[in-house]
Amino acid sequence: MTRIDAKFAELKAAGKKAFVSYVMAGDPDYERSLELVKGLPAAGVDIIELGLPFTDPMADGPTIQLAGQRALDGGMTLEKTLQLAAEFRKDDNTTPIVLMGYYNPIYSRGVDKFLLDAKAAGIDGLIVVDLPPEEDDELCIPAQKAGLNFIRLATPTTDDKRLPTVLQNTSGFVYYVSVTGITGSAEAQAGDVGPEVARIKASTDLPVIVGFGINTPEKAQNIASISDGAVVGSAIVSQMASGKPVSQVLGFVKSLADGAHRG
């Protein structure tokens, strides 16, 4: 059982929905990024999505693109991202970390070396947005063999014909993208999302977590009420970009987590 599996079992036993937060590793710099990540569990975050900065983030909107650029400009690398995770693990051995990004930096490092290093750093799962199920032999299958969950995205355009392929080697949870488009581009609507979550859950026992377009405690609550939990990314990244102290950003995160947990 991975930390992700254990966390969902714990939440289910408590009758609670999950709150997942996305933050960009190294934004605006390594020290503040680490401070933020270290503070997330106490702010109510159940699972941390750690963004891996990349030069061509095609699925991300301007907010996360700029965060990645700031991180890269500050010298952030895959190596330092794993170092940040390992630093977090010194004080927290239970909160799951999902590394979210693109395949190129992983490919450049070499899959076997990356998986070994990721496991050693305390990474629990991967979301690699530009590797479709047809490429599962490339990273997904090796990752699962190494004990890492491989989490897949389902979207409003994932029809009934495509869904079984998407779910085939997915583990940990299914990440449902609530809007068509890039991150931060539109608002999630519970009325639209509910039937889609139900459709996915009819085909899998995995938790279904909903992200994209959630930026207030009320929206987090609404989305969590019709799913297994909510993900917030751009709204948190925006708070960091505004230059607010990390303590203030964590206060905002707590309000979102409280909303999701009421769902």
pLDDT digits (tens, 9 = 90+) for 25-38: 999 999 999 999 99
Residue tagged active-site, from 5, 46, 49, 136: 49
pLDDT of residue 186: 58
Closest CA to 183 of 100, 74, 247, 98: 100
The two structure tokens encoding residue 260: 């999701």
Q: Residue 178: what pLDDT? A: 87
Mean pLDDT value of segment 168-173: 97
**Please, what is the Cα angle at 33 between 27 and 35, to 5 degrees?**
160
pLDDT at 205: 97
Q: Is 49 among the catalytic positions?
A: yes
Examine the residue annotation and report whether 29 is marked as an active-site residue of this protein: no
- The one catalytic residue among 27, 60, 117, 136: 60
pLDDT at 60: 83
Task: Kindly tell me if the per-residue pLDDT of 181 is higher than 90.
Answer: no
**DSSP codes joined into one string, the chain:** --HHHHHHHHHHHHT--EEEEEEETTSS-HHHHHHHHHHTGGGT-SEEEEE---S--TT--HHHHHHHHHHHHTT--HHHHHHHHHHHHTT-SSS-EEEEE-HHHHHHH-HHHHHHHHHHHT--EEEETT--GGGTTTTHHHHHHTT-EE-EEE-TT--TTTHHHHHTT--S-EEEE-SSSSTTSS---HHHHHHHHHHHHTT-SS-EEEESS--SHHHHHHHHHTSSEEEE-HHHHHHHHTT--HHHHHHHHHHHHHHHHH-
Contacts of 242 (CB under 8 A, 6+ apart): none
Point out the least confidently predicted range of 18-22, 117-121, 191-195, 199-203. 191-195
| Contact assessment for residue 24 and residue 54, using Cβ atoms and an 8 Å cutoff | no
